[in-house]
Amino acid sequence: MPTTISGPNGEIKFGTGLPTLIIGERINPTGRKKFGQQIASGDLSVIKDEAISQKNAGADVLDVNVGAAGVNEVALLPLAVKEALTAGDLPICVDSANVEALKAALAVYPYKALINSVNGEERSLSSVLPIVKHYGAAVIALTIDESGIPETVEGRIRIVERIVERAESYGISKDDIVVDCLTMAASSKPKSALVTLETLRILSKEFGLASAMGVSNVSFGMPQRDIITKGFLGMCIEAGLTAAIVNPETEGLVSTIYSADFLTGRDDYARKFLTHYRTKIAASRNV
């Protein structure tokens, strides 16, 4: 069964065989000092701007993260979610390591949210999973636990099995678990991209689980990062990735997703491709 989340315009479904869900990652202060300072001072216009520009670039969902120095996440995350929701009119992926902030944000979200994230650590399982159940949300499950990110495919799958088992004990359906196989920098761990792809392939094809991943980490430490990120993104989609956490404004990134979906039979009748590029297609006919 596909995973369902919802927003002001109704439900969105994603999963095996369906087009890749594009989760816009730009509402996040990581590495952006000015963004952090602005939201800490209560100026949410930057959230509105990022919501609109990511939607126009092709985002289906907006990730909202306000974790930065000097920010009271419990107070700010709900405001940021409301701002992004109003401006973007898209479902929200509520992103925080602070459980109280997640609760406060979910309390103001009147649809089915995606929560980012739970992991295999006991304190994460026992604090996040009850919230997932209570709010009827879906959740991204990271393949990391007390011992870190396993280097092997088997180690990462064991964490997923543990999370799914615990989730089911809370009455959370498997369809509401979205696994994240975690990407590391290929420049420092040359074989890690292959481990991530292999894990993704097994969880997708054999376990039938939905998946989400931030792909840009793969290119960390390299020049021309976007080239490597886009190549990896195409491979992830072939391996079964169902939701990509990306910057949709990166030149050529959304095209990579549309072409990979088309080539893997995930875009029936190339409908999404033809709709997204209709203006360009019409222009090229008229030359």
Mapping DSSP to helix (H, G, I), strand (E, B) and coil, where does residue 3 land? strand
Minimum CB separation from ligand THG for residue 116, in Å?
Answer: 5
Q: Which residues, including other chains, have CB under 8 Å from residue 238's CB and lie 6 or more apart?
A: 260, 263, 264
Is residue 20 within 8 Å of 243, Cβ to Cβ?
yes
Mapping DSSP to helix (H, G, I), strand (E, B) and coil, where does residue 121 land? coil
Structure tokens at 78: 């709900």
CA distance 10 to 249: 24
Is residue 248 within 8 Å of 25, Cβ to Cβ?
no
# chain residues binding ligand THG, by CB under 6 A? 16
User: Which residue lies nearer to ligand THG by CB, 105 or 267?
Assistant: 105
Rule CB under 6 A: choose which of 81, 118, 140, 239 binds ligand THG: 140
Residues in region 215-244 near ligand THG by CB under 6 A: 216-217
CA distance 222 to 213: 19
Does residue 245 interact with ligand THG by CB under 6 A? Answer: yes
Rule CB under 6 A: choose which of 1, 9, 32, 168 binds ligand THG: 32
Part of the chain binding ligand THG (CB under 6 A), chosen from 121-129, 194-202, 209-217, 257-265: 209-217
Minimum CB separation from ligand THG for residue 287, in Å?
Answer: 34
Is residue 61 within 8 Å of 21, Cβ to Cβ?
yes
User: Which residue lies nearer to ligand THG by CB, 182 or 273?
Assistant: 182
Angle at 139 between CA 138 and CA 144, to 5 degrees: 165
Minimum CB separation from ligand THG for residue 142, in Å?
Answer: 6
Q: Which residue is nearest to ligand THG (CB)?
A: 31
Which of the 8 DSSP states describes residue 20? P
Minimum CB separation from ligand THG for residue 282, in Å?
Answer: 32
CA atoms within a 13 Å half-sphere pointing along the CA-CB vector of 28: 19
51-80 mask for ligand THG (x: CB under 6 A)?
Answer: ------------------------------
CA atoms within a 13 Å half-sphere pointing along the CA-CB vector of 230: 16
Does residue 28 interact with ligand THG by CB under 6 A? Answer: yes
Residues in region 69-128 near ligand THG by CB under 6 A: 95, 116-117
CA distance 75 to 58: 29
User: Which residue lies nearer to ligand THG by CB, 32 or 134?
Assistant: 32
Minimum CB separation from ligand THG for residue 118, in Å?
Answer: 10
Minimum CB separation from ligand THG for residue 32, in Å?
Answer: 4
Rule CB under 6 A: choose which of 14, 15, 21, 25 binds ligand THG: 25
CA distance 124 to 231: 33
User: Which residue lies nearer to ligand THG by CB, 7 or 214?
Assistant: 214
Q: Which residues, including other chains, have CB under 8 Å from residue 11's CB and lie 6 or more apart?
A: 4, 5, 112
- Given the rule CB under 6 A, which residues bind ligand THG? 25, 28, 30-32, 95, 116-117, 140, 180, 212-214, 216-217, 245
